[in-house]
Structure 1
Amino acid sequence: MAPVKPLPLSSAARRAVFASLAAEPRVDAVVRRLGDAITLGLLGDGEQLPGESELSAQLGVATVTLREALVVLRHQGLVTTRRGRGGGTFVCAPADTLDERLRARLLAHTTEELRDLADHWAALAGGTARLAAERADAPDLEAPRRSLLDFARAEDPAARGRIDGRLHVEIAAAAQSARLTREEIRFQTEIGPLLCLAFNQPEAHREADAQHRALLDAVASGNGELARDLAEQHVHVALRRLIERRLDGPWQQQA
């Protein structure tokens, strides 16, 4: 499976990844922020993180806090550290596939919980899409347009799920709200790894691709109400597919 390309350093989504954590300077906050960004592909496989002094300053945490967080991320297999010349801390992208861990994660949710997640995500995605339509200019839409192309070309369901999540994060970033962008990142880590199950069939992939294109067109044209409606529709379709998988054949038997 080809790794998802990291976002350009100038993108709003990446700026949100490295925004200050001064309001919650704890090890778990650093682990969550960086771990979420790696899981969503905002930080690419093999990418070198900034040095400890620079990164701790960017995140607004003490160097010792950052070091403890990097230890946790290493144990989770999300980063690796190389010593010596050319060394540093490098991203290790997770391999999200249809394995037992993913199955157990879906089965841990009841259908009622999945419907509640759909309502939450639809409200978030719809609101950010409307704001993006009102606020974004052409440069803000460069990153989501690249993700649109990546999603259309993706042959692996796991890659499709990650790119879909990345696209939603980029739309939130285009809304020019760091708080909404971080909330979308946080939400994607809760549901994002399961989305490959929503895009594992060719017809589902084609349908989602068409929804993405219509959504980006609405945002680009400044039609906030249409962008909101299309984002909400896309979310509910994806979550409906997850609920169907939750209730389907072998998945039901493992519950």
Structure 2
Amino acid sequence: MEEQRPMMIETTFALDGRVAIIRLTRARALNALNGDLLDQLDEALDSITTQEAVRVAIITGTDSVFSVGADLKEQLADRGARIDRMHRLVLRLAGMPVVSIAAIEGWALGGGLELAMACTFRAASPTARLGLPEIRLGVVPAYGGTQLAPRLVGSALALELMCLGEPIDAARAERIGLINWLADDAGGALALALDRAAAIAERSLPALQAARQAVRDGERLALPQALALEAQISAHLLAGDNPPDAAASFLNRAARTC
């Protein structure tokens, strides 16, 4: 009889199915990223991208830990292949049609923080601790960290995180831009992410996709080329099957607030 694979991912839905919550549940291993967990994460992302109602995917961990990163106990025949796989995951999250939010409680270290940085946004509990400690093992963050961190906090602060290898608290992470939103209380990261997801879920999906594409692709370009890209993306959005009427939307919103 085939041995049943332990489930390391739970997927639930909120806000009438517009928000998918993907929870890492490999609690005994502190949500360390191994092959099975990554398989299940890919399967969860496959599932939600087939559901038209979903606007936001929240990735979270347990009440005490997001993820401590790569599973150092796992025997890998080809570490380069694992790096390639994680890079594909980073690119997948960046290019997904839905917005992604990492909701962080407790530790987010190494590959765990890299997974969070690959998401569109990050919400964290005040008790969260975030870091890239790979330098202490004589290696560098290779699951996207050397490229994701500078895009979020700038090269000087990214190098500080990588070269010192010391975790920082959530308050400092918010100050430097590593996280977007800081919850008021311990245990509040998921509730805060859901609150932000509720607002995002009300926005136009094509417009959300266009904004993300403009920022993602434009940051690699010189300003004149980036502005041309912005114009192109805007024109494409306005020429779609259901072009937005910004003026009408503004007047309707103004009328509701009067």
Q: State the TM-score, normalizing by the size of structure 1.
A: 0.28
| The structure with more helix, counted as a fraction of residues | 1
Q: Which has the higher contact order (CA 8 A, sep 6+)?
A: 1
Q: State the TM-score, normalizing by the size of structure 2.
A: 0.28
Q: Higher Cα Rg: structure 1 or 2?
A: 2
